[in-house]
Every structure is written in C-alpha cells, then in structure tokens.
Chain A
C-alpha cells in the first residue's frame, strides 16, 4: 500500500531516525504509555475472568436443579409410579400413571388445535411478506407469545369452562394449543423462507399450480424444520401448569375423556409439592424427574430432526 499525502487526511508521523535520542521528557512519556498498556492488559484479563465466572455461575443452577432432581426423584421412581394412580394422602405407594396419560391427551389435543393454525399462518407469512396484514399478524403473534400463561388460563375458563359449566380436558388442550400457535408460526415462516426460490420456480415452470407447489414442494422441503418447531412448541407446553389450573382441574382417577376433568403431570407435581405429606413430596420429585425427562427427550429429538437433514451445522 502506498501512502498518499492528501491535503485533507492527517499526515503520518515521521519515524525517528537511527540517531534518535529520547530526552528525559520523552522517556517519561514512554514510561507512562508502558504502564497504561500494562493496566489496559490487566483490565482485559480481569474482564475475561469476570465473564467466564458469569458463565460458570449461570450454569450452576441447572446443575444443582438436575442433580437434586436425580437424587430426590430417582428413589421414588419404580414400576408402581408408571402403572398406579395416586393413593389417598398419607398412604404409602401410588403413582402418577393417570397424570402421564392426561399429559399425553392434552399434548395431542393442543397439537390438533395449534399445529394446523400455526403452520397455516406460517405459510401465509412466508408467502405474503411485506404486506400490511402479514406484518400485523407477525407482530400480534409475538404479542401472543409474550402473553402470560395464567392469562391464557383465565381466558380459557371464561370462554370454555364457564359456558359449559364444567372443567374439561378440552378447555385445557385448547389453552395449551393457543400457546403453541405463535411458536409454530414463527418457525414455519423461517423454515419456509430458507427453501431456495429456485425450487419453487422449478415446480411452477413444470406446470405445478401455486397451491401444489406450496404444499407438495416447498412445505415438504421445509418439513424437518417445521417438525423441529412443532417439537419445541410441544416441549414448552408439556410442562405448563398455569393454563391448566382452572381448565382441566386435575383428577385423582383414570380419565382420558376430553369432556371430563383430567390429570396432568405438571398439575399433579404442583398439588403434591404444596401438600403437607412427605409421601406426596417424594412423588412430586419423581414426577418432576419424569417431566424433565420428557421435555429433554422432546428437545433433543427436535435438535436431531434438524441436524439429520441439514448436516452438521443444524442449529
């Protein structure tokens, strides 16, 4: 690179020649520079250390919680836990089999309600970018995502439980499904956006109609990503408790009916955690361990679903 001496720019200082002898003042200045550089380096190292400690501290709660869950939960997990319904308070034994079935029913109901709407809305947003309606829907979807789950719970109570006059699994499933919609919408839109335009154009050029192009070519290409989004959404609602408090109510017995109150794992954990009985506390820990296991397995499956199709840089 050649140095051009433009009239506007500052001229580079001329380097001291070989015969340069620093004066006393220059010595002092050089000394000052050295100490400032030293101090700046020390600050740098200290800050690296502080951020490292922050990262360490941030991971500690996770390790404590998972560690304690394993310790307290594993001792109560046995065959009965997966096959029995809860015993009356104070009695030994019992399990949470009905709650696990209930959570499964709720997840399926929520998915049946939330997935079609979320995927459909995501398709709309990806194919109508920049329109006023799309921008508004995207913003409102974010608003819905930030809605406190307890508000969703009282809405479902007011909208479904109150008119029907009874607590039902359906009301809880719909509340959970509504919470899935914004997550599914967002991931669907993003996954469809990264499908190459050339693919869409190729299908249209071959005479495919627009709707078949969207559904058969584009949606299918984006499917692994959409499955990931759906799994992430399921893993988020699987542990939700607040929307269930006033909708499904909980149930001490077997029920898989959508028209009856139903048991759910998070709800059962909550009820047992605040009860005064040690036996129920032990079951709560076991239930929490199983719930975390379910959530983690779904999350890992979500990661795996993306990774297997899109190569190593999947996330």
Chain B
C-alpha cells in the first residue's frame, strides 16, 4: 500500500497502534520537555561555573590583600604586592569620557531617526549606525593605533591644551605622546554609541501616539512635543540604554588595550596613559609571574564581573519598566 493511500487512523477494534502511539507520544513529550529544560538550565549552570571558577581563582589574592586590593595603587609582581586602584580608576574614567561624548550624539541620532528623519533616510542611517556595532573590537584598535592616535597627538591634544582657561587645568596637562586615556575614551565612545542609540530609538518608538498627539493638539512645536512629552515618557528607558552602554564600555578589552598605554598610574591628565581592568588582564595574564599574580588578575576579573553584572541588571530593569508602562 502506498504511503498516501493509507488512512491516518485505522478503526479496527483489534488495532493496538493508536494506544502504542499515544503511549509513545507521552514518552516523546516528556523526553522533549526534559531536554529543553536541560538546555535552559545550561545558562544558569554556566554562569554559576563562571562565578565559582573565577571566584575560587581570585580568592588567594582577595584573602591576601582584602579591601586594600581595591584601594591600593601599588602593583609590583616581583614583590607580590597587588593593588588594582589604577585599573579601576582607568576603567571608570575611560567609560565616563565615552559616555560624555557618546550620549548626546546617540540621543541626537535616536531622536533624529525616530522623529525628524524623512522615511527614505531612516533605514540607511539606522543601518550605518548599527554597522558600528558590527565592527570587531580589534579593528577599532588597529584603526585607533594608526589613525586616531596620531591625529590626537598632532592636532587634537595641542588644540585642547591651547584652549583658554580649561586648557591650563590638570585635565590637559603634560606631553602629548600618543597612548592616552583620551584616546581610549574616544574609541569607547564610538563603540558604545550604536548600543545607546539603538535602545533609545526603541524606547522612543514605544512612546504611545496619544502622548505625541496630545502635545501637538496643545499647540506644541515638534521639538516641544519631543522635549516635553516624548523624552520624559521614555526617560528611564533612555537611561537604561546609557547604562547598557556603560556596561559595554566597562568590559571592552582589545581596542582599549591597544590605545590606553597600559601603565599602572593614576594621573589627572587625560593625555597620560593608564590602565583598565580588562586591559590589565589582557596585557599581563599570559606573562603572569607567579600564582599570586595570576590570582590577582583573576580577582580583577571577578571585580569586573560583579560590576558589569550590577550595571547590566540595572539597565535591564530600567528598559523593562518603560516597555511595561507602554504595554499597560
């Protein structure tokens, strides 16, 4: 009998096929259920493993230096003295520079794309900005070393230190010789911009029509509508996007390692080289001199892990709040 001609369900009373198939499907169902549950559980298990492995490896250093590990700025592998303060400081400063530069630009892009841009311009510009997120970190680093760094050294830094008033402050002090906090912050700004603008655009588009129409009906101009009705409504989502960008900036490794100069020193000047937690690990891990050195680098990784975890959880919560409000 051909496959097509066979009836789907036979009704012969002595047929045990149906019972067997129902039995079989019950087994299949529970196998399927267990398998997908197992795959889903892989995610918490993986995170738990990461936390345990990194935490355990970091423990000797954390035990040896205690809280001082975060506040001491002495990093001396030959004498087994480790303090991560310069790396923590550099991580924070480079991320702040990145956010200061990227946030206004990203908000401008998001507002332009969601409110002002003519329809034909929206897709291409959004695509170009999204492409920034697709460029690998190491390519940013390569471009940074050979294009951005000379540009900063020869033109931007002399210009900044030549500025009246702010040019004389400690921020722009010292010789401009290439690897610097400023360069790292700038490359980070380019890298986090697409993340901030993508999230902001999403939450701006999620603002209900009624909100816009009400503002326009009251006689607001388009900008007044945005500033008074749309942005305040989306505020916590936009802040979530900025914090998400912060999370990216804190953990970014390759481009920063290639540009920041990798020096264990806290300097007020943005022209001076520095370190970040991620670049410290990338730079010293392979050549770690002893067990405690390795453990100290693991501890830096653990601190980075905890900080990004908190930052990301906060960002998700803020974005989730806006989407929940928009739904209700």
Which A residues lie at the B interface, using CB under 8 A?
A: 40-41, 43-44, 47-48, 50-55, 57-59, 61-62, 64-65, 68-69, 72, 116-117, 119-121, 123-125, 127, 133-134, 136-137, 139-155, 157-159, 178, 181-182, 185, 207, 209-212, 214-215, 235-236, 238-242, 245-246, 266, 269-270, 273-274, 281, 284-285, 288, 291-292, 295-296, 299
Q: How far apart are A51's CB and chain B's nearest CB, in angstroms?
A: 4
The 0/1 profile, CB within 8 Å of A marked 1, for residues 220-253 of chain B is 0111101000000000000000001001101111
Q: In the complex, what distance in Å separates the CA atom of A266 from the CA atom of B117? A: 36
Q: In the complex, what distance in Å separates the CA atom of A181 from the CA atom of B221? A: 46
Contact between B147 and A68 (Cβ–Cβ < 8 Å)? yes
Q: Is the interface of A mostly helix, strand, loop or mixed?
A: helix
Q: In the complex, what distance in Å separates the CA atom of A216 from the CA atom of B26? A: 16
Q: How far apart are B132's CB and chain A's nearest CB, in angstroms?
A: 5
For B224, list chain A residues within 8 Å (CB). 40, 44
Contact between A120 and B40 (Cβ–Cβ < 8 Å)? yes
Q: 21 interchain pairs (CB within 8 A)?
A: A51-B109, A51-B115, A53-B108, A59-B125, A61-B190, A64-B143, A120-B35, A148-B304, A148-B308, A150-B304, A151-B50, A154-B301, A157-B285, A241-B254, A242-B137, A242-B253, A245-B282, A270-B141, A273-B141, A288-B138, A295-B134
Number of chain B residues whose Cβ lies closer than 8 Å to a Cβ of chain A: 90
Q: Which B residue's beta carbon lies closest to that of A214?
A: B32
Contact between A150 and B282 (Cβ–Cβ < 8 Å)? yes
Which of A146, A178, A185 has the most chain B CB atoms closer than 10 A to its own CB? Answer: A146
For B37, list chain A residues within 8 Å (CB). 124, 133
Contact between B136 and A291 (Cβ–Cβ < 8 Å)? yes
Contact between B36 and A136 (Cβ–Cβ < 8 Å)? no
For B218, list chain A residues within 8 Å (CB). none
Q: 10 new A-B pairs (CB below 8 Å) besides A151-B308, A154-B301?
A: A43-B221, A52-B116, A54-B109, A57-B105, A133-B40, A144-B47, A151-B251, A181-B42, A291-B138, A299-B131
Q: How far apart are A225's CB and chain B's nearest CB, in angstroms?
A: 18
Q: In the complex, what distance in Å separates the CA atom of A246 from the CA atom of B253? A: 13
Contact between B308 and A154 (Cβ–Cβ < 8 Å)? no
Q: In the complex, what distance in Å separates the CA atom of A141 from the CA atom of B43? A: 6
Contact between A137 and B141 (Cβ–Cβ < 8 Å)? no
Contact between B304 and A151 (Cβ–Cβ < 8 Å)? yes
The 8 Å CB contact of B31, one of A50, A72, A150, A211, is A211
Which B residues lie at the A interface, using CB under 8 A?
A: 8-9, 24-26, 28-29, 31-33, 35-44, 46-47, 49-50, 53-54, 57, 104-109, 111-113, 115-117, 125, 128-129, 131-132, 134-143, 145-147, 190, 193, 197, 221-224, 226, 244, 247-248, 250-254, 258, 278, 281-282, 285-286, 297-298, 301, 304-305, 308-309, 311-313, 316
For A125, list chain B residues within 8 Å (CB). 40
Contact between A273 and B138 (Cβ–Cβ < 8 Å)? yes
For A281, list chain B residues within 8 Å (CB). 146
Q: Which A residue's beta carbon lies closest to that of B39?
A: A120
Known: A117-B39, A273-B138. A65 touches B143 (CB 8 A): yes
For A150, list chain B residues within 8 Å (CB). 251, 253, 278, 281-282, 301, 304
Q: In the complex, what distance in Å separates the CA atom of A169 from the CA atom of B258? A: 24
For B41, list chain A residues within 8 Å (CB). 137
Contact between B252 and A148 (Cβ–Cβ < 8 Å)? yes
The 8 Å CB contact of A246, one of B44, B49, B285, is B285
Contact between B221 and A44 (Cβ–Cβ < 8 Å)? yes
The 8 Å CB contact of B43, one of A127, A137, A153, A266, is A137
Q: How far apart are A263's CB and chain B's nearest CB, in angstroms?
A: 14
For A47, list chain B residues within 8 Å (CB). 223, 226
Q: How far apart are A254's CB and chain B's nearest CB, in angstroms?
A: 22
